[in-house]
Amino acid sequence: MKKQYTTMIRDLPEQARPYERCLEQGPEVLSDVELLAVLLRSGMQGCSALELAGKVLTLCPYEEGLGGLSRMTVPDLRQLPGIGPVKAVLICCVGELAKRIARRQHARGPQFRDAQSIAEYYMENLRHCEQEHVFVMMLDTRNRLLGEEEISRGTVNQSLFSPRELFLKALSFHAVHVILVHNHPSGETVPSCEDLEITRKTFEAGELIGISLLDHIIVGDQCYTSLRKEHAELFGR
């Protein structure tokens, strides 16, 4: 059997080795491709680790670069020659770590006082989803996040949930305020009649039990709509 050779980072010229550059100057000097190449460690016959990393970063059909990593699945990645199960799992875990770090950073401090910060918190997770996902954020008196729950997952054009289900979750967290967040798979954030109606019903139900609906935010592709801002009449104003 003919022996197959792979191109390792250690086989590159010293000045081109990202591992050594990282040791000497820190990871901030490395490009996105170099950072990923350090993790991949090896390429394949006729393709260096750096070249393979470059191919991985252009593989996602929705978004090139590091942002695309969080959208790729193990089967997606394994379509690329040189990416076996171990490398595919590693890349997927890197993407998931990046999402969790971003969410933790957004969850700190008072940033949940405005709709933009909330939209940014969910944007990367939701903007390419093919179904509607509805989340409820549960907050204390200082608008600090107590918890979040996905309360519904629908089809491309509808997602069903009841205010009762939402407030049962909120009561279990001893929440004082709640915020609804859901995505539109189309990427547009114009609210539907159903969006407006469920917002009205949820606000009115919350008023009865003493848990206020602060906002309902629709997330699209790099855009969002705050129903409190655009339809204040739904919130008793």
Q: Looking at the structure, do residues 172 and 218 belong to the same domain, yes or no?
A: yes
- In three-state form (DSSP H/G/I as H, E/B as E, the rest C), the secondary structure along the chain is CCCCCCCEHHHCCHHHCHHHHHHHHCHHHCCHHHHHHHHHCECECCECHHHHHHHHCCCCCCCCCHHHHCCCCHHHHHCCCCCCHHHHHHHHHHHHHHHHHHHHHHHCCCHHHCHHHHHHHHHHHHCCCCCCEEEEEEECCCCCEEEEEEEEECCCCCCCCCHHHHHHHHHHCCCCEEEEEEECCCCCCCCCHHHHHHHHHHHHHHHHHCCEEEEEEEECCCCEEEHHHHCHHHHCC
pLDDT per residue, tens digit, the chain (237 aa), is 333 434 455 555 444 578 888 888 888 888 889 999 888 988 888 888 888 999 999 888 777 788 788 788 899 999 999 999 999 999 999 888 887 877 766 555 445 668 988 898 888 788 778 889 999 999 988 888 888 999 988 865 666 778 888 999 899 989 999 999 999 988 899 999 999 999 999 999 999 999 999 999 999 988 999 999 999 999 986
Last residue of a domain, one of 104, 122, 153: 104
Residue 72 belongs to domain spanning: 9-104
Assess whether 147 and 219 both reside in one domain: yes
Report the domain count for the chain. 2
pTM: 0.58
Does any domain span residue 155?
A: yes
The answer on 117 and 219 residing in a single domain is yes
Asked whether residue 157 is domain-assigned, the answer is yes
Does 75 share its domain with 184? no
